[in-house]
Amino acid sequence: MSINWYPGHMVKAKREIKENIKLVDMVIILLDARAPFSCRNRDLEEMLKDKSIILVLNKKDLAHPAQVKEYQKDLEEEGFIVGAVDSLSGNGVKDIVKIIRNTYKPTADRMLERGRRVRPARIMIAGVPNIGKSTFLNGLVGKKMAKTGPKPGVTRGKQWVRVREDMDFLDTPGLMWPKIESPEQGFKLALLDIVGENAYAEGEVALFLIDFLREKAPQELLNKFKLDDIEGTNIEVLEKIARQRGHLAKGGELDLDITAKILLQEFRRGHIAKICLD
C-alpha cells in the first residue's frame, strides 16, 4: 500500500509560512521523538534555512530514552540545535527555554549595543500535522495560553502567543511535503497519526505495526494482549488479539476492523511499549 497525503490547504499553509519567515528570529520545528527522521519535512527545512532552527523531539515520554538520545546526537551532528520534551508533563521544558534564550542572546546583545530595548524573542513553531504544537505551547507556559496583540508588519488579525514574558510564538499550520518517499515511511506517519485517516487503511497499518512489534518488541506484544504466542502470519496474530479481546461481529465472526483500530490507538497512546520506529 502506498500512502500519500497532501490536501489542498497545504499549499496555503506553505505560502503562509513563507510570508512570515521574515517576522521571526528563529524557528522551532517539532518532530515526533518516536520517528524524527520519518516526520522531517525537508521542504520546510529548506524554506527556513536562513533562520536559526531548533529541532525539538516532542512526546519523548512515548519513546525509548536511549534511542531518543541517539536521535539527538545524530541531528546535532548534522548541525542542528536539538532538544527533547514531554509537553504533557513538562519534562524537558526548562531545557527548551534555555536553548531558546541561548539562541536569541546574540540578537539581544546587538539590540543592547545599539541602545535599544531588548524585545521578546519571536519564534515560529512549525512541523507536520498533529505533531503536538498546541500541547507544546501549553507546556511552555504552564497554563492556558494568552494571546498578544498584532505585531508591526503582521497581517491584521494575525495573533501571536506569548508563553513567557521574553518569548512570543507564531504558530503555523501543520505542513506535509508533496510526496512521501517510501511505503515504510508512509506506514510510520500513519502510525503516528500524522497523515489523514482517509490516506490509509487501518487494517494494513495495524499489520505493519504487528510486524514491527514481532521483530523489535515481541515480549511487549505478548504481554500487552495476553497472547500465548505470536506464531503464524501477521493477520493470524491480529486474529489472536481479536479473539483475546472478544472483538466479535454479527454472526460471531472476528471483527478485525475494530481490533486494528484499537491496536493503533494503544500504540499512539504509548500503552504498548516505549518504541522508536526509525
pLDDT tens digits along 36-46: 999 999 999 99
More confident residue, 250 or 239: 239
Secondary structure of the chain in HEC code, one letter for each residue: CCCCCCCCHHHHHHHHHHHHHHHCCEEEEEEECCCCCCCCCHHHHHHCCCCEEEEEEECHHHCCHHHHHHHHHHHHHCCCEEEEEECCCCECHHHHHHHHHHHHHHHHHHHHHCCCCCCCEEEEEEECCCCCHHHHHHHHHCCCCEEECCCCCCCCCCCEEEEECCEEEEECCCCCCCCCCCHHHHHHHHHCCCCCHHHCCHHHHHHHHHHHHHHHCHHHHHHHHCCCCCCCCHHHHHHHHHHHHCCECHHHCECHHHHHHHHHHHHHCCCCCCCCCC
Q: What is the pLDDT of residue 3?
A: 85
pLDDT band at 157 (very low <50, low <70, confident <90, very high): very low
Q: What is the pLDDT of residue 252?
A: 86
Distance CA 57, CA 188 (A): 16
Distance CA 261, CA 84 (A): 29
- Residues 233-238 have a mean pLDDT of 97
Q: What is the pLDDT of residue 197?
A: 87
Q: What is the pLDDT of residue 143?
A: 61
Percent above pLDDT 70 for the chain: 93
Measure CA 101 to chain center. 23
Q: What is the pLDDT of residue 147?
A: 47
| Other C-beta atoms lying within 10 Å of the C-beta of residue 218 | 13
Kindly give, in sequence order, each residue whose CB lies less than 8 Å from that of residue 76, ignoring residues fewer than 6 positions away: 82
CATH number of 201-268: 1.10.1580.10
How many residues are there in the chain?
A: 278
Distance CA 173, CA 127 (A): 8
Residue 148 has pLDDT above 70, yes or no: no
* Domain 9-171 identical in fold to domain 201-268: no
| C-alpha Rg value of the chain to the nearest Å | 21
pLDDT band at 159 (very low <50, low <70, confident <90, very high): low
Task: Read off the pTM.
Answer: 0.90
Per mean pLDDT, which range of 124-133, 157-166, 178-187, 247-256 is the poorest?
A: 157-166
pLDDT band at 232 (very low <50, low <70, confident <90, very high): very high
Per mean pLDDT, which range of 23-27, 94-98, 171-175 is the poorest?
A: 171-175
- Residues 213-228 have a mean pLDDT of 94
Burial class (CB in 10 A: 0-12, 13-18, 19+), 124: buried
Distance CA 219, CA 193 (A): 24
- CATH superfamily for domain 9-171: P-loop containing nucleotide triphosphate hydrolases (3.40.50.300)
- Residues 205-210 have a mean pLDDT of 97
Distance CA 58, CA 85 (A): 5
Q: Looking up cell 506553505, which residue turns up?
A: 14
Residue 185 has pLDDT above 80, yes or no: yes
- Residues 78-102 have a mean pLDDT of 94
Residue 174 has pLDDT above 60, yes or no: yes
**Mean pLDDT across the chain:** 90
Q: What angle do CA 193, 276, 177 make, to 5 degrees?
A: 45
pLDDT band at 202 (very low <50, low <70, confident <90, very high): very high
For the chain, which residues make up each domain, given as ranges? 9-171, 201-268
Residue 63 has pLDDT above 90, yes or no: yes
- Residues 109-138 have a mean pLDDT of 93
pLDDT band at 59 (very low <50, low <70, confident <90, very high): very high
